Amino acid sequence: MKIIISGAYAIGTHLAKLLSRTNQDVVLIDDDDERLAAISSDYDLMTLNASPSSVKALKDAGISHADLYIAVTPDENLNMHSCVVAHALGAKKTVARIDNHEFITEENREFFKKLGVDSLIYPEMFAARDIISGLKMSWVRQRWDVHDGALVMLGIKLRESCEILNQPLKNLCGPQDPYHVVAIKRHGDTIIPSGNDELKLYDLAYFMTTKNYIPYIRKIVGKEHYVDVKNVMVMGGGKTAVRVLKSLPDYMEAKVIETDEKRCEYLNNVLDTDRIMVINGDGRDISLLIEENIKSTQAFVALTGSAEANILACLTSKRLGVRKTAAMVENLDYVNMAEGLDIGTIVNKKALAASHIYQMMLDADVQNMRFLMTANADVIEFTAQQGSKVTRKKVFELGLPNGMTIGGLVRHGVGQLVSGGTQIETGDTVVVFCHEVNMKKVESFFK
């Protein structure tokens, strides 16, 4: 596949990391030599120092033969414009990163598609969905629903109250048990577990189960005493915060703390002020937090543009008694540090956007893809094709590569867990976990 990426910023860089595990023909265009030098030395791709708006640059990159053109610079107008030009020059499919949420309505999507922009990526929407998912279940770090909840993945931090510590997983996750542990993050390392592995105190464990067994999972991990979130405090009133606050469930109320007075006026105009209070101030100000009754708040979400400020604010709110915290951490170098400090849910909208784009590059039939940033692992929903390798033998006979495991499948709308004796059938949606494994090897089982 011939892929051209414009913009050697966070999304483009993360895409390059993902693509380095495949043998794609990739060209990265950027007008900054330093950004290109930083990435070209680490990844297997070609770079071109030029403006993405240049017709000559696109032609030199081979746009007429491109299967996918991806514009992910910080400039929305440049992204849209270059996609239109790329389409006119022969690119089969184009993707543009945008900043304006109005563009993602169904009507506007169709309008831009006619112009030559096939897909629009709005990172703030991906981040908001992650945060809301975490707020709905205060005891879970991450949640991912497959086929509207036919299967559910839960990322849970294990504490002293967990009932299933220090026991071989083969004794806990048999064919008849209602959950599987599909990945474990421990001391900075990711484990795709076997039957002899055990869950340890402070592990971040990823469970695959069905929706009706969520209360059971909550019980065995010792989280029944966690109160449901009804009051949320948000630090920062930027675009991601607006998406989060507009998506809050009806039973939640929120206070948003923003330092800029003009931004506060804007927030008051666009938000539901019956449920959301806008406060002009600094979310790191302990006296302000106490005055705004943070000790009766169940969740604190830090969404400023500073990863350091977000991490510090979450630590402060935890010390003031808030159990559920979430931080936007745009600098990927800080992710492990934030996890080590036990911040809670960590969101990186650029990594989420990159994973969504990467899904478009896979040859197999992929329904959804998610990069678990804290675990450095991918979760992918594949549809098993007729005659594909995954349908020919039972799971234990497939010879899955190290770093790959199958967590569950959905057949005719019904979710079920997968064991070694499971026979996958044509048309099944199969949930696969991958850690440091060549994605082409994973794809080869489903094509």
Please give the full DSSP string across 295-311, using - where no structure is assigned. Answer: GG-SEEEE-SS-HHHHH
Q: Are 429 and 409 in contact (CB under 8 A)?
A: yes
Q: Are 215 and 237 in the same domain?
A: no
Q: Which of 155, 189, 220 is the last residue of a domain?
A: 220
Identify the residue with better confidence: 342 or 308: 308
In a domain, 292, yes or no: yes
Q: Are 318 and 379 in the same domain?
A: no
Return the closest-CA partner of residue 233 out of 197, 286, 182: 286
Q: Are 122 and 144 in contact (CB under 8 A)?
A: no
In a domain, 305, yes or no: yes
In a domain, 194, yes or no: yes
387-407 mean pLDDT: 93
Amino acid code (one letter) for 405: T
Q: Which of 121, 147, 164 is the last residue of a domain?
A: 121
Distances (CA, A) of 272 to 99, 121, 293: 22, 26, 20
pLDDT confidence of residue 19: 75
In a domain, 95, yes or no: yes
- Which of 96-105, 360-369, 427-436 is predicted least confidently? 360-369
Distance between CA atoms of residues 432 and 182, nearest Å: 9
Distance between CA atoms of residues 29 and 37, nearest Å: 12
Return the closest-CA partner of residue 15 out of 352, 376, 365: 352
CATH number at residue 46: 3.40.50.720
pLDDT confidence of residue 188: 79
Q: Are 65 and 165 in the same domain?
A: no
Q: Are 142 and 208 in the same domain?
A: yes
In a domain, 330, yes or no: no
In a domain, 382, yes or no: yes
- Residue 345 binned pLDDT confidence (cut-offs 50, 70, 90): confident
384-400 mean pLDDT: 94
Q: Are 44 and 105 in the same domain?
A: yes
Token pair 């064991």: residue: 419
**Averaged confidence pLDDT in the chain:** 90
Q: Are 188 and 260 in the same domain?
A: no
Q: Are 235 and 181 in the same domain?
A: no
pLDDT confidence of residue 312: 93
Distance between CA atoms of residues 267 and 154, nearest Å: 32
Query: What is the domain extent for residue 279?
Result: 231-322
In a domain, 348, yes or no: no
pLDDT confidence of residue 28: 92
Return the closest-CA partner of residue 358 out of 24, 8, 9, 7: 24
Return the closest-CA partner of residue 286 out of 306, 316, 311: 316
Residue 22 has pLDDT above 70, yes or no: no
In a domain, 156, yes or no: yes
Q: Which of 72, 90, 121 is the last residue of a domain?
A: 121
Distance between CA atoms of residues 248 and 234, nearest Å: 12
- Which of 43-47, 68-72, 425-429 is predicted least confidently? 43-47
Residue 288 has pLDDT above 90, yes or no: yes
Tokens of 403: 């770093």
Q: Are 287 and 393 in the same domain?
A: no
Q: Are 273 and 295 in the same domain?
A: yes
Count of the separate structural domains present in the chain:
4
Token pair 């039973």: residue: 251
Residue 41 has pLDDT above 80, yes or no: no
Segment (H or E) for 380: strand 377-383
Q: What is the pLDDT of residues 165-197, one digit of tens each?
A: 999 999 998 888 899 999 999 987 889 998 899
Q: Are 165 and 213 in the same domain?
A: yes
- List the Cα angle 74/75/78 in 5-degree steps: 135
Residue 112 has pLDDT above 90, yes or no: yes
Token pair 């220090």: residue: 166
CATH number at residue 177: 3.30.70.1450
